[in-house]
Structure 1
Amino acid sequence: MPEVTGYPPGWPSWAELATPDAEASKDFYCALFDWYSYTLTVPEKGDYEMFTLGGIQGPEVAGMQTLADDAQRPSWSCYFRTDDLQATVDAAEAQGGQELLPLTRVADLGEMALCADPQGADFGLWLPQNLQGAGVMDEPSAMCWVELACRDTEQAIRFYGEVFGWRAVRRDYHNSVYSDFKVGAWSVAGMVLMDELWPPNYPAHWIPYFWVEDCDATAARAAELGAKIRVPPTDVEPGRYAMMTDPTGARVAVLTPDPAHRAEARKRP
């Protein structure tokens, strides 16, 4: 598997699970994606679990931490690369967003911050030092896409355009409108409108997609492992996908890319 050595600014670079039950989550994802894991002790932050691919010494694909407050919702957070953490946080706040966690150094790996957009969807910022982000991307069992679900897409387009310099390209998609966020010529994220089919109180959120070789088999295996399938395997233009909540309630998606999408994804810098 080709390993990633760096990410351009504005690109998704990491996914992190916040869970109320670290052991249950580790068991689920290691069984579902054939991940391994090791525990990293971060001074002043406690233990942090690193998921790896291809063995303990393999490239990191995602992280996990235990929720500090039982009232918090289990969730996956998507992190985006930045060259200037403070400037990006300032831009988010200037556009109506909120800083949730101030700039924090994570050992010698890099620096991070957590923000929320005006609709409450949280996202992370990452300024790398010794960890560029996920060591592998756009490969089986690794992250291949991130997607925002929100109710005001125009506001989201303005916000992320100012914060990351993204350009939105809309396309008609199964009787709805889907937006690709682009950096230059490359699509780096997607956005779906939360319409009347969504529960009325469900919050705006980011969700990572992980590449799998067989979407149907993975969804079936996830259900066996205790996940709830929210969107059954469905054909879309990029391939075949499914959405689920894991055994702790965190929302996650899987995608089996079609051959054309697979080839295009692997051309990305």
Structure 2
Amino acid sequence: MVQKTSYDPGTPSWVDLGSPDPDAAADFYSDLFGWEIGEAGPPESGGYRLCMLRGIPVAGLGIQEQPDIAPYWTTYVSVADVDSTVKEVRGAGGQVMVEVMDVMDAGRMAVLADPSGAVFCAWQPLTHIGAGLVDEPGTLSWNELLTRDLDGSKAFYGTIFGWTANTMQLGEMAYTEWKLGGASMGGMMEMDATFPAEVPPHWMVYFAVADTDATVEKVVALGGHVHQPPMDIPQGRFALVADPQGALFSVIALAHAAG
């Protein structure tokens, strides 16, 4: 178990789902990961729900704000000053999709996009730091950018978050690990010709599981879909799946599970 009480600025700290059917999504993820998901929050929260594991927040769930695109999981990066981050994003060629706003007493946020169009959020924490548990079954374990512009992404995220890019060869595939002060922040892969042209650059969310194959079977049994069957990589055994509404996410049984 890895329990978190804070996140350094520049660290992915939270993920949430925008779904066209939050009630169905709540049923699916609570069955799949054992999350406790309550009723929709008050009107001022937009009906947002916290997904809990043993009473600790691990993810969020809300109504999909853009009905013309596929449902999506969003990555949030913790920042010290979201207003400054927004200015830096504009200066580095990114886009501000939703201006800075207060989320009650939980924190301040903005919805942003890098120059290639990959959407992410900047989160300035107040009472809500982000995920209280990571790297154990049913919790966030990795955030990965899929892009068609590796060099541009390296420059952008280096400017915004101070990340350095460590590119390595994994078999026939080049993979980039994002680092901040020597700590791993996430990864990046190039979207090659195997990706349909209509799939935009995006941030992928990985959840840790105890058994990838069993989890994939359960995804299907609950009405979800498999996009990449289980396969072994140096970090563990992973699969790419989607919930019944079409939101993509990855699951991984980590080779070296956190204690």
Q: Give the CA deviation at 1:61.
A: 0.4
Structure 1 residues 184-227: Cα deviation after superposition (integer angstroms, max 9, x where no partner): 11111100110011112110000110000001100111011111
- Give the C-alpha shift of residue 245 in structure 1: 1.6
The corresponding residue for 1:228 is 225
Asked whether 1:150 is paired with 2:147, we answer yes
Q: Return the alpha-carbon distance in structure 2 between the equivalents of residues 182 and 43 of structure 1.
A: 38
Secondary structure at the aligned position of 2:137 is classed as coil
Q: Distance in 1 between matches of 2:226 and 2:204?
A: 15
The answer as to whether partners of 1:39 and 1:50 remain within 8 angstroms in 2 is: no
Name the residue aligned to 2:72. 75
Q: Distance in 1 between matches of 2:180 and 2:253?
A: 23
Give percent identity, aligned residues only.
39
Name the residue aligned to 2:109. Answer: 112
Q: What is the aligned partner in structure 2 of residue 27 from structure 1?
A: 27
Q: What letter matches 2:48 in structure 1?
A: Y
Deviation at 1:176, TM superposition (A): 1.4
| Letter paired with 1:164 | F
SS at match of 1:203: coil
Q: Which stretch of structure 1 is more off in the superposition, 65-74 or 226-235?
A: 65-74
Q: TM-score, normalised by structure 1?
A: 0.93
Task: Give 1:48's aligned residue.
Answer: 48
Check whether the contact 1:43–1:107 (CA below 8 A) recurs between aligned residues. no
One-letter code aligned to 1:15: V
CA distance in 1, matches of 2:112, 2:175: 24
Moved over 6 A (4+): none
Distance across 2 between alignment mates of 1:109 and 1:39: 18
With over 3 angstroms needed to count, the CA separation of the structure-2 counterparts of 1:68 and 1:114, relative to structure 1, is: closer
Tell me how far 1:72 sits from its aligned partner. 3.2
TM score, norm. by length of structure 2: 0.96
Which amino acid letter does the alignment assign opposite residue 110 of structure 1?
G
Match of 1:36 in 2: 36
Match of 2:88 among 76, 88, 91: 91
**Alignment CA distance shift 1:2-1:235 (3 Å):** closer
2:29 match: secondary structure:
helix
Q: How does 1:189-204 map to 2 (within 5 A)?
A: 189-204=186-201
Where 2:138 maps in the other structure, the secondary structure is coil
